Amino acid sequence: MVLENYNCVLCHLDTEESLHHLFLHCPFAMSCWNVLGLAHLIQGDILDTISLFKTQIQRPIFMEIIVAMFWAIWSTRNDVIFFFFGNEMMSFSEISSNQ
């Protein structure tokens, strides 16, 4: 599969997709983390951010919660690329209400 560019398909900000952008800094990802009340904790470093998430969540299953959100973001990204799901930026709540 050849892509026209490597920009994030979830936000259309002409930002090249990277690990940090896709999972933490993309407006779509931020809306996902906001559903859990964690968006305000996002830092520059992913490990620092996960540590802050752990402190905020304070549950033995904090990592499962984080991994589930990463999976939701990744799955949505793949739906946009491979199934042409949506062609404009949507928030997590809009997408989850459609499914």
Q: Specify the pLDDT at position 59.
A: 93
- When pLDDT is cut at 50, 70 and 90, the band that residue 99 belongs to is low
| Whole-prediction pTM | 0.80
Residue 32 domain flag: yes
The whole-angstrom separation of Cα 39 and Cα 29 is: 9
More confident residue, 99 or 72: 72
Residue 13 domain flag: no
Residue 24 domain flag: yes
Q: Specify the pLDDT at position 69.
A: 97
Burial of 92 (0-12, 13-18, 19+ CB in 10 A): buried
Q: Which residues pair with 7 in a beta bridge?
A: 16
Residue 9 domain flag: no
Residue 26 domain flag: yes
Residue 3 domain flag: no
| pLDDT tens-digit readout, 49-97 | 999 999 999 999 999 999 999 999 999 999 988 887 654 555 555 655 5
Q: Which residues 6+ apart lie within 8 Å of 95 measured at CB? A: 76, 86
Domain count, the chain: 1
Residue 42 domain flag: yes
Domain coverage including residue 37: 19-98
The whole-angstrom separation of Cα 54 and Cα 47 is: 11
| pLDDT tens-digit readout, 12-47 | 788 999 999 999 999 999 999 999 999 999 988 899
